[in-house]
Amino acid sequence: MSIGLLAQYVINGMMLGMMYALVAVGFTLFFGVLDVIKFSHGDLVTGGAFAGLAIYSFLEHIDGGGTWWITLVVAIAAASSMAVLGAVIGRFLVLPLRSAPSLNTLLITLMAGTVVRESIRLFYPGGSQPHRFPGLLGARAFQIGSLTLRLDNIVLLATGGLLIVGMHLIITRTRLGLAIRAVAQDEETARTSGINFERMVLLTFALGSVLAGIAGVMNGLYYNEINFGMGLLLGVIGFSSAIIGGLGNMYGAILGGFLFAALQTIGAVALPFASAYKDVFAFAAVIVFMAWRPTGLIGERVSERV
């Protein structure tokens, strides 16, 4: 195998890892503040991609498309609309069920995800078919020896990296992050210190959902195609990645995302004849991993599930 091809696989794997990591960080944030898993999270990725596409189709008529600010607007629109949706789901479906059995939270977020997914399928024009996502970042590429480096891939990787670093800085360096960490550590103490618990929870939901929305747009830009069911796979893998890294641990989630992507990429390289089965392997890997290490590789501070 040539160096160029190998490098291409590495870049593919990193792109995949970046998307998984973005989704996984959302799961881990929610679990941190409220000890809940939002199964609707994966569908917010789809939601972000379609929101971005909708804004693009609208702006295309004004500008003709192709300028950098459109990309920015698309990303911001996807991120902010998903932030609102994530907070709304949190406010009306997750928070009211806090005292109910955890099975109910699980069911209600699963159903919320279904509502999002089905709404896209039914109400987005032609939503039941895969949609082409415009290549907003252009197709410029550099040739370094046998390696072709595409500019859009670099931009996407850099954006993802910046987002994760930004999220890290928000959590560790700002007053908002301090409040979120306080809520995650001890709800009652946080409340007595004058932190508005509900607001912090909803803000966390919004922050995590921003990442999902961006991941959706990234997904569209990278594969140039989106469909209403894509969030299901990303949600399952994102959740698994968060578990691999030990839920509630942000670095673990990032690591888990990249590990999962590496596993999938290596699988694709090692078994090229079985490429049709790549999703089957991904899901099988989730199941095997849960059997092997249900508390993740890094381990959680507190584990209540085994």
Window contacting other proteins (CB under 8 A); options: 66-74, 99-107, 178-186, 253-261: 99-107
- Could you tell me which of 207, 160, 219, 143 has the C-alpha nearest to residue 179? 207
305 interacts with other proteins by CB under 8 A = yes
Interhelix angle 230-244/41-63, nearest 10 degrees: 130
Looking at residue 116, its amino acid is: V
216 neighbors 133 (Cβ within 8 angstroms): no
Report the residue number, 117 or 131, with the smaller CB distance to other proteins.
117
**DSSP code, position 233:** H
Least Å distance between CB 15 and other proteins? 21
- How many residues in total does the chain contain? 306
Least Å distance between CB 273 and other proteins? 12
283 interacts with other proteins by CB under 8 A = yes
Looking at residue 49, its amino acid is: A
Per-residue x/- track, 237-276, other proteins (CB under 8 A): --xx--x--------------------------------x
Window contacting other proteins (CB under 8 A); options: 3-11, 105-113, 136-144, 255-263: 105-113
95 interacts with other proteins by CB under 8 A = no
Q: Residue from 39, 133, 205, 260 that binds other proteins (CB under 8 A)? A: 39
Cα–Cα distance measured from residue 180 to residue 187, given in angstroms and rounded to the nearest whole number:
10
Cα–Cα distance measured from residue 55 to residue 291, given in angstroms and rounded to the nearest whole number:
43
Q: Is residue 243 exposed (0-12), middle (13-18) or buried (19+ Cβ within 10 Å)? A: buried
* Binding residues for other proteins (CB under 8 A): 37, 39, 93, 96-97, 100, 102-104, 106-108, 110-112, 114-115, 118-119, 122, 232-233, 236, 239-240, 243, 276-277, 279-280, 283-284, 286-288, 290-291, 294, 305-306
